[in-house]
Structure 1
């Protein structure tokens, strides 16, 4: 555990250096980059993704994956749009859309926590199924014309210069750090991620923990979908498509092991800042969206390979050191 913790500290230090380089480059090449308004805009353009990345951190540390989050975002937003277009007051449409996210989480958690199916299989099915439900609700059309109060929540500042989604992110970030790093539930998440069977024999409620995580994941995704609909002012069946790539990249680049059991919320926060600033820098360089997606994909590969390569290098040097010690003693 000490070696793993030390590696994470070094990884987070590397992320901090990378973030500093990115910020300096952008500041030198973009007038007005360091203003508060620009930084709020950085967050606002990807705010729904980074909100979901918070709960995805818990999921991956728990040695699971949730590929359905982007589809749940679209399904929730389309549920609200469909209900409003058919005469339901927007307040009730939003409430039902959030409940739809809870229902999706209960469905996922039943098959994962109770039946014991792999989360990769269950949530991949959810990725397809929830997206299909979104298309069933709105078909190929776009639904808009939402009440002004709803659009203002996503498009205008709520407190000072800060919009609602950014305020929600910071509140959830504080709760996520406290729960993951300093609570008993957070310790359960790590223990299960390290070894599920050992956790079970140690008296940890593995099934309950996993069900809580997946219900929370879909609920947060549904909330993010509603915020996304408010920011765009309309919903479509394909909204949030592909968001899971960026979300998972943010988590893995932050030092969270794809195999579970390690990682910190601080590392994920640094990763989020790096990705937001990289996208901003590439946008300033007039690079296309496809190029930006390719860079994010490369970061995803790097975030998976780098810890494994570092571990193998460390093991190699430990063996060499042990061999020298044996030779010296002989």
Structure 2
């Protein structure tokens, strides 16, 4: 990682955030707070890892938060009507590939822009979730389910955090060290050139949308386990945080550029900012405003930084 790169700038901002939080909130550095810092946003950050690949491929998936909510509601509804929890988990996870296939067919095969398709699916999947659970809050999950979402696994660290580390490493290797990752970047740079070069553009895009929705469905199961109950509005607005994490990490909104290291640093910055603001009693509305500002910075920042560096 070059110090003059955007990733180097993010590393500096991350250290600055750590120092500021430690000075303003003494409890910030405790082990439990560090675990909570990740656990409270775990669904967003695992989805952001895959979203990075989607945006590098010059696409976007706005429906991930609704897929998360639908998967959580499918799990909650099935448990509520008496289906065994393991079967309910499998059914909730199956929501991901089905949703991803719908997106992929319309985008990669029919040719409708991903912004239009996934915005429509955001509304559609959310509607199905509300039909399932209506205005109820469905809970009473088996104890082992909530334990997986709330308690430590192989030590004090919860299962979801272990999954994040595994996915971060695995997707980093996939993006930067495999032929598929190179295809993702090449297609994101210029899909027509990639197609004329013999790359199966539709197959790559289909794979990415299946990955994104499958990760969102897993996020829905983790969300239900962490909270111990689900509602029809599960995951509403998560897409804002997810896209901000990706773009702030240096991934170009136009595709063809980005690194997993930058995305991980961006995730760490945003999680620590939110945690620091919460510890200093800054309200949720202000936190959302700060994330909105970060979204603007994430679009303009990398390009401005590159111009300044060259200058």
- Match 2:145 to one of 146, 150, 170: 150
Matches within 5 A, 1:3-152: 10-152=5-147
Counterparts of 1:32 and 1:284, CA distance in 2: 8
1:290 matches 2:285: yes
User: TM-score, normalised on structure 1?
Assistant: 0.91
User: TM-score, normalised on structure 2?
Assistant: 0.97
1:209 equivalent in structure 2: 204
- Match 1:195 to one of 190, 215, 218: 190
How many residues get paired?
311
Counterparts of 1:147 and 1:257, CA distance in 2: 43
Give CA-to-partner distance per residue, 1:215-266, whole Å, 9 cap, x none: 1110000000100000000010001100000000000000000000001000
Counterparts of 1:72 and 1:274, CA distance in 2: 26
1:249 matches 2:227: no
Deviates more, 1:288-297 or 1:32-41: 32-41
Query: How far did 1:311 drift?
Result: 5.3
Q: 1:165–1:9: structure 2 CA closer, same or farther, 3 Å change rule?
A: farther
Larger radius of gyration: 1
CA contact (8 A) 2:109 2:202 kept: yes
Q: Secondary structure at the match of 2:153?
A: strand
Q: Secondary structure at the match of 2:233?
A: coil
CA contact (8 A) 2:148 2:159 kept: yes
Counterparts of 1:173 and 1:16, CA distance in 2: 17
Question: Which runs of no fewer than 5 residues in structure 2 stay unpaired?
Answer: none
Query: How far did 1:39 drift?
Result: 1.2
Counterparts of 1:293 and 1:62, CA distance in 2: 28
2:231 equivalent in structure 1: 236
Structure 1 stretches (4+) deviating beyond 6 angstroms?
A: none
Q: Secondary structure at the match of 1:66?
A: coil
Query: How far did 1:33 drift?
Result: 2.1
Counterparts of 2:75 and 2:287, CA distance in 1: 31
2:256 equivalent in structure 1: 261
Counterparts of 2:239 and 2:183, CA distance in 1: 25
Q: Secondary structure at the match of 2:170?
A: helix
Query: How far did 1:285 drift?
Result: 2.1
1:162 matches 2:162: no
1:305 equivalent in structure 2: 300
CA contact (8 A) 2:103 2:117 kept: yes
Counterparts of 2:251 and 2:34, CA distance in 1: 25
2:265 equivalent in structure 1: 270
1:182 matches 2:180: no
Query: How far did 1:40 drift?
Result: 1.1
Give CA-to-partner distance per residue, 1:187-211, whole Å, 9 cap, x none: 0000000000011111111000000
Counterparts of 2:223 and 2:302, CA distance in 1: 33
Give CA-to-partner distance per residue, 1:270-319, whole Å, 9 cap, x none: 0001001101111122111000000000000011012333456678x5xx
Output the aligned Cα RMSD: 1.5
1:226 equivalent in structure 2: 221
